[in-house]
């Protein structure tokens, strides 16, 4: 088995509350506990872990985009990161055995890909390793049994089995729905109602057969009766034979078609109102058109003779206005320049009359010519229609109408030669067509009086349609029966599959149930009622549910914890289940992150949880953030210092990030500021305060109790004065610092050099000098170097209450404190 993964380091830069880079080192102490007031940035450490292992590159509470109360991934980056040109990212280093792997994930951009190390470690998390107090109870109180089942199945690495259950259940549901679907049968009933003219609305074999015999066959032949609605029935075979015979002879439809073709050529209709006979058809239309054409030609010839001088029409038109009535006539002819008096007409009036006569003759000719053109067009159109209509009747005539057929063929040949040939006589053809129409009308009347619209062909078509509907219905019934059988088979198989999966899931639930109850009892006490993780009964169709139950009392067995347990008990149930599942199933990466999990507990329970972490989870790597100082102290009291690193956030600097109690300004940081040409006065002040606070804590100095609102806030001057008082009482005097005439602690109280660089100065030249800062820092380092053990050179001290002077804090030394020689220029 491969070695488990452990965090080696976790770095935050421009991420959430952390603007400046901050790295948590787990190489020496595997576990971490952070105490901080709410809103100080402690949860950002847990956020960094969640982000690093997130598949979609965001936090669950932030979401994929800004919507409703979610801020989206944009909230991952510190709001000043872009302005200060700090890359927003989370870096991680993990160790497995002797192998160390690093990775980094940007918190900005559209994709934010997860690094390979994040993917590898995340694959080991069967159970989410992060437990947040505010969502811990969701599993117990809010999640449905189906949601719990899915969660736990994933913890147990049974996702594929859950998918099998879902697929089988879904298929069974679909097949059952299909087996119960009546759509196909309803469609048959709808079509049956249409076919039977609403006589039969729902399929009934006897009713359908009766309708076929009485409404379809009886009007044709009452003796023709179907014994069964089947293609092999004797009556159906007889119907098929008669329909085929009917198809081979002319029936009502054929007679009507022949009559229409004959009437297209020539027909007579008597007006019922006035008794007038109206003749229509292509033959009389053509004869009339030819007669009209002949008359038009004669008229046109006659008028053309009268207007023989049509060549002068344009001239007369032009001359008419010159000789119009009331207009002064010209004295000279405008054409030949002959005086009007010398012309043949002799006067303007005679010329005017001559022009009017000829123009009138021209108008009559124009009318005759137009009528001739119309007559030609009408005759050609009538000829075309006649030529198209004659073949239509010829094609419908049988040998019984041979004389008419021969006459029509000859007539067709004759009219085809028009207009080059004379118009053929149509009187004989008209007589024959009239006789044909009379015969057809009588035959049609006889058929209609006998059978109406019923024919064997139509009857067979209706019976065939009923047979099709019967076949469709039989298929639907067979399909439904087969689907019903399949549904029953799937139900049986699903029962077997679910039973086997149920056994597997229940076995694994039993595996986690015992440690869960052990943890729950450790928190709530030995008398705590055990919690049961139970699946539904084996005969329950839906096995994808997980019931969380307790026996609250004899008359309240198998009840939901949310309705009976107290707030802290519900919290404990959820915490116990999650922690037991993590320990059981996350062996490949036994990492647990706890974010403010003790909000519902009293002091005794908090101490119990601290002990639980110390005893049950000593083989896990745990990161804890809390705003509860008592719980933090319990952790420090019960957990091993060699494994745990405890730290506090003492404030949130918007322009820096969380300030930790053990976050000290180093000499390198101060020198880096100077190397960049920047003042380090602020850093110097903070470094002096940090050193003073540490040495005062080690020496056990006495300070005045602070006001409640500033209970833990001491100014540098107070610490320096308290330290000076202790040294004086212990008769310990540090050597003077070169260049400083007074005691250096007094100089620290004033901090004039630092104040020049870090505070606003009224004077125009009051800004600090980097040279002054460097000199001051060398003096401070010389003073600081005296606080070292003269025996072992260590700088950690302690002063038990029974001693007046501090001693070295190292177990192998414990030498009484004496000032070491000052080292000028050396830190």
Which residues, in sequence order, are bridge partners of residue 104?
91
In a 13 Å sphere around the CA of 645, the CA atoms on its Cβ side amount to 17
Task: pLDDT band for 226, please (50, 70, 90 cuts).
Answer: very high
pLDDT of residue 227: 92
Task: pLDDT band for 759, please (50, 70, 90 cuts).
Answer: very low
Beta strand 797-798 pairing with 807-808: antiparallel
Among the residue ranges 43-47, 68-72, 536-540, 793-797, the one predicted with the least confidence is: 536-540
- Would the pLDDT of 447 be above 70? no
pLDDT of residue 473: 92
Residues 220 and 461 sit within 8 Å (Cβ to Cβ): no
- Would the pLDDT of 138 be above 90? no
Q: Is 79 left (phi over 0), alpha (psi -120 to 50) or beta?
A: alpha
Which residue has tokens 């390979």? Answer: 116
Please state the φ and ψ torsions of residue 203, each to the nearest 5 degrees. -65, 125
CA distance 137 to 148: 12
Q: What percentage of the chain exceeds 90 in pLDDT?
A: 25
SS3 593: strand
Shortest CA distance to 573 belongs to which of 610, 544, 533? 533
- Would the pLDDT of 764 be above 50? no
Q: What percentage of the chain exceeds 70 in pLDDT?
A: 84
DSSP codes, 346-380: -SHHHHHHHHHHHHHHHHHHHHHHHHHHHHHHHHH
pLDDT (tens digit per residue) in 351-397: 666 666 666 666 777 788 888 889 889 888 988 988 888 888 888 88
Which residues, in sequence order, are bridge partners of residue 6?
95
Task: pLDDT band for 604, please (50, 70, 90 cuts).
Answer: confident
Task: pLDDT band for 474, please (50, 70, 90 cuts).
Answer: very high
Please report the beta strands in 415-556, taking only residues with DSSP state E, as ranges in sequence order: 531-534, 547-550
Query: Which is more confidently placed, 742 or 91?
Result: 91
- Helices 252-265, 427-451: axis angle to 10 degrees equals 150
Reported as type and span, the H/E element at residue 750 is: helix 744-750
Q: Mean pLDDT, to the nearest integer, of 291-304? A: 83
- Would the pLDDT of 738 be above 70? yes
pLDDT of residue 689: 84
Task: pLDDT band for 761, please (50, 70, 90 cuts).
Answer: very low
Query: Which is more confidently placed, 390 or 158?
Result: 390
CATH 3.40.50.300 spans which residues of the chain? 1-125+586-663
pLDDT (tens digit per residue) in 767-787: 557 888 888 888 889 889 999
CA distance 241 to 234: 11
CATH number given to 1-125+586-663: 3.40.50.300
- Would the pLDDT of 744 be above 90? no
Q: What is the mean pLDDT of the chain?
A: 82
Cis peptide leading into residue 626 (ω within 30°): no
Residues 92 and 589 sit within 8 Å (Cβ to Cβ): no
Highest mean pLDDT out of 33-47, 144-158, 379-393, 712-726? 33-47
Q: Mean pLDDT, to the nearest integer, of 801-815? A: 89
pLDDT (tens digit per residue) in 163-188: 777 788 788 888 888 888 999 999 99
In a 13 Å sphere around the CA of 169, the CA atoms on its Cβ side amount to 12
Task: pLDDT band for 341, please (50, 70, 90 cuts).
Answer: low
674: tokens are 């100077």
Query: Which is more confidently placed, 589 or 419?
Result: 589
Highest mean pLDDT out of 61-70, 674-683, 692-701, 761-770? 692-701
Q: Mean pLDDT, to the nearest integer, of 208-223? A: 89
Task: pLDDT band for 755, please (50, 70, 90 cuts).
Answer: low
pLDDT of residue 534: 76
SS3 809: coil
pLDDT of residue 663: 65
Task: State the Cα torsion 469-470-472-473 to the nearest 10°.
Answer: 120
Highest mean pLDDT out of 76-90, 162-176, 567-581, 650-664? 76-90
187: tokens are 């469609």
End-to-end Cα separation, the chain, in angstroms:
48
Residues 644 and 669 sit within 8 Å (Cβ to Cβ): no
pLDDT of residue 620: 94
pLDDT (tens digit per residue) in 51-79: 999 988 999 888 887 787 778 889 999 99
- Would the pLDDT of 826 be above 60? no
Among the residue ranges 243-247, 535-539, 603-607, the one predicted with the least confidence is: 535-539
Q: Mean pLDDT, to the nearest integer, of 86-114? A: 93
Shortest CA distance to 822 belongs to which of 783, 779, 778? 783
Beta strand 267-270 pairing with 277-280: antiparallel
Task: pLDDT band for 237, please (50, 70, 90 cuts).
Answer: very high
């Amino acid at each position: 088995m491969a070695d488990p993964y452990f965090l080696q380091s976790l770095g935050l830069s421009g991420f959430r509350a952390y603007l400046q880079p901050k790295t948590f080192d787990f190489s020496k102490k595997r576990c971490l506990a952070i105490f901080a007031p709410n809103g100080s940035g402690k949860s950002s450490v847990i956020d960094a872990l969640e982000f690093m292992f997130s598949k979609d590159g965001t936090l669950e509470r932030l979401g994929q985009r800004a919507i409703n109360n979610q801020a989206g991934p944009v909230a991952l980056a510190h709001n000043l990161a872009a302005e200060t040109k700090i890359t927003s990212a989370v870096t991680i280093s993990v160790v497995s055995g002797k192998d160390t792997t690093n990775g980094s994930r940007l918190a900005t951009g559209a994709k934010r890909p997860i690094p390979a190390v994040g993917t590898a470690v995340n694959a080991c998390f069967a159970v989410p390793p992060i437990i947040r107090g505010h969502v811990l109870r969701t599993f117990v109180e809010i999640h449905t049994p189906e949601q719990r089942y899915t969660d736990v199945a994933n913890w147990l690495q049974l996702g594929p089995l859950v998918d099998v259950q879902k697929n089988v259940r879904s298929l069974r549901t679909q097949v059952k729905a299909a087996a119960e679907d009546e759509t196909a049968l309803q469609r048959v009933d709808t079509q049956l109602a249409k076919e039977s003219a609403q006589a039969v609305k729902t399929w009934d074999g006897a009713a359908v057969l009766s309708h076929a015999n009485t409404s379809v066959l009886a009007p044709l032949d009452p003796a023709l009766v179907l014994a069964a609605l089947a293609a092999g029935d004797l009556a159906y075979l007889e119907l098929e034979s008669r329909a085929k015979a009917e198809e081979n002879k002319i029936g009502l439809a054929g007679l009507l078609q022949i009559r229409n073709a004959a009437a297209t050529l020539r027909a007579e209709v008597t007006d019922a109102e006035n008794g007038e006979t109206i003749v229509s058809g292509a033959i009389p239309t053509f004869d009339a058109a030819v007669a009209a054409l002949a008359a038009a030609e004669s008229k046109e010839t006659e008028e053309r003779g009268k207007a023989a001088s049509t060549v002068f029409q344009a001239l007369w038109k032009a001359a008419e206005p010159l000789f119009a009535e009331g207009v002064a006539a010209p004295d000279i002819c405008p054409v030949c320049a002959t005086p009007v008096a010398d012309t043949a007409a002799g006067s303007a009036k005679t010329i005017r009359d001559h022009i009017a006569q000829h123009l009138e003759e021209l108008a009559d000719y124009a009318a005759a010519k137009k009528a001739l053109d119309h007559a030609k067009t009408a005759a050609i159109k009538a000829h075309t229609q006649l030529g198209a209509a004659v073949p239509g009747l010829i094609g419908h005539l049988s040998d019984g109408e041979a004389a008419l057929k021969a006459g029509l063929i000859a007539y067709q040949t004759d009219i085809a030669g028009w207009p080059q040939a004379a118009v053929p006589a149509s009187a004989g053809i008209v007589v024959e067509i009239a006789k044909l129409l009379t015969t057809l009308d009588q035959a049609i009347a006889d058929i209609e009086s006998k059978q109406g619209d019923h024919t064997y062909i139509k009857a067979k078509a209706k019976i065939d349609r009923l047979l099709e509907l019967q076949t469709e219905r039989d298929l639907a019934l067979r399909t439904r029966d087969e689907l019903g059988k399949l549904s029953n088979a799937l139900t049986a198989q699903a029962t077997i599959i679910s039973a086997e999966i149920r056994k597997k899931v229940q076995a694994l639930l039993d595996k986690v149930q015992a440690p869960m109850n052990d943890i729950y009892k450790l928190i709530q006490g030995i008398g705590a009622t055990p919690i049961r993780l139970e699946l539904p009964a084996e005969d329950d169709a839906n096995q994808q549910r997980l019931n969380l139950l307790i026996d609250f009392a004899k008359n309240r067995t198998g009840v939901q914890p949310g309705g009976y347990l107290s707030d802290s008990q519900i919290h404990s149930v959820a915490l116990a289940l999650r922690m037991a599942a993590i320990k059981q199933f996350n062996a490949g990466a036994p990492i647990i992150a706890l974010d403010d999990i003790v909000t519902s507990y009293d002091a005794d329970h908090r101490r119990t949880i601290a002990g639980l972490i110390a005893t049950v989870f000593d083989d896990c790597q745990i990161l804890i953030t809390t705003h509860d100082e008592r719980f933090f102290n319990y952790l420090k009291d019960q957990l091993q210092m060699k494994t745990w690193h405890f730290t506090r956030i003492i404030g949130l600097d918007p322009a820096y990030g969380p300030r930790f109690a053990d976050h000290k300004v180093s000499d390198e940081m101060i020198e880096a500021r100077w190397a960049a040409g920047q003042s380090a006065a602020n850093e110097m002040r903070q470094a002096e305060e940090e050193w003073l606070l540490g040495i005062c804590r080690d020496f056990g100095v006495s300070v005045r109790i602070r006001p409640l609102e500033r209970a833990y806030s001491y100014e540098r001057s107070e610490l320096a004065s308290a330290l000076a008082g202790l040294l004086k009482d212990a008769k310990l005097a540090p050597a003077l610092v070169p260049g400083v005439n007074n005691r250096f602690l007094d100089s620290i109280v004033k901090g004039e050099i630092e104040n020049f660089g870090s505070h606003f100065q009224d004077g125009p030249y009051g800004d600090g000098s980097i040279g002054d800062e460097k000199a001051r820092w060398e003096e401070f380092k010389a003073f600081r170097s005296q606080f070292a053990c003269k025996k072992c050179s260590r700088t950690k001290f302690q002063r038990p209450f029974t001693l007046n002077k501090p001693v070295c804090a190292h177990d192998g030394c414990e030498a009484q404190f004496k000032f070491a020689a000052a080292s000028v220029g050396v830190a």
